[in-house]
Amino acid sequence: MAETMRAVAVGVDHTVSVERTARPAPGAGEVLIRVAYAGINRADLIQRRGFYPPPPGASPIMGLEVSGIVEALGAGVTRWRVGDQVCALLSGGGYAEYVAAPEGSVLPVPAGLTLKQAGAIAEATFTVFANVFETGALKPGETLLVHGGASGIGTTAIQMARAYGAKVIATAGDDAKCKLVTDLGARAINYKTEDFEAIVKAEGGADVILDMVGGPYVQKNINIARPFGRIVNIAHMEGAKTEVNFMPVMLKRLVITGSTLRARPIAEKARLAHEVETRIWPWIAAGKVKPVIDSVFPLEDVDSAHTRMAASKHAGKILLQL
């Protein structure tokens, strides 16, 4: 008899509710995690509306990251023991009491962090490492421009880049968010009242730009990138379709690129996990990179949590507590 668990279900009208469903069993090489906290990401909101279907083989339940306790081990798992405190990057299934994850996507809770804090770090650290450090190839002394600087990814990008010795400029949408990103070590720009293009230009431009806005930001990013600059889009909240003048791309030898994390193969995520644990976990343990948590909602209040993110009222991560 399969045991059951509570999990968030999405109705045909895109409403959400907590229902009982079968508890997953860990397959070979997988770890079953009893979830303590699940992080909320914008991709979840898109999946809920039906536009971001889970990749083949992934859980149909929303949720791309959790923290929790190892409950059971699938065949061949060597690193983990039942009872270990872990966090994990998921291809889905986090909005539930239990989730099965490939052992290579599971990391220990960093030294000194609570399970609550650990629920806020997987997606952001993996995303920033993959896009700013690997694809963007940020170097110490260079300037990183982060759009959405007060978001979970933004606050993480600022701290990781600062820990690495880069200068950081970050855009944010109100004074409180600007104060937050300033406190984290970035030069803040209120994009609603200031012209980020003019300010970044006056600051000497940006070597790496991490952007989730797209739309009108694409040309501005190109205009303010320094020679050999790398522009990495991880989303296009204002649209992926826009008119662009590519002349500066050629003249300044820029790189325009982007990526998603969820669709990457399990082996690639394991490689990233190893890099993140080796390079970023020590910064977290040393207090150089701190999870910024906006708010915690009980699983039953998932709709309120989504509403808060959709309205961009949050600064840092929104978590669900199981």
Q: Which residues bind a copy of itself (CB under 8 A)?
A: 135, 214, 218, 233-236, 240-247, 249-251, 253-260, 263
Of 136 and 316, nearer to a copy of itself (C-beta) is 136
Smallest distance, a copy of itself to C-beta of residue 225, A: 11
Smallest distance, a copy of itself to C-beta of residue 170, A: 21
Of 254 and 289, nearer to a copy of itself (C-beta) is 254
Of 9 and 266, nearer to a copy of itself (C-beta) is 266
Q: 119 vs 24, 90, 107, 214, 296, CA distance in Å?
A: 20, 12, 11, 28, 10
Q: 290 vs 121, 170, 183, CA distance in Å?
A: 9, 17, 12
Smallest distance, a copy of itself to C-beta of residue 234, A: 7
Of 141 and 227, nearer to a copy of itself (C-beta) is 227
- Helix (H) or strand (E) run with residue 37 in it: strand 30-39
Smallest distance, a copy of itself to C-beta of residue 223, A: 13
Residue 50 gets the label, from left (phi > 0), alpha (psi -120 to 50) or beta, of left
Smallest distance, a copy of itself to C-beta of residue 252, A: 9
Of 192 and 253, nearer to a copy of itself (C-beta) is 253
Structure tokens at 124: 């952001």
Please answer whether residues 14 and 48 qualify as being in contact, where contact means their C-beta atoms are separated by less than 8 angstroms. Answer: yes
Give the other-Cβ count within 10 Å of 257's Cβ: 12
Please answer whether residues 52 and 46 qualify as being in contact, where contact means their C-beta atoms are separated by less than 8 angstroms. Answer: yes
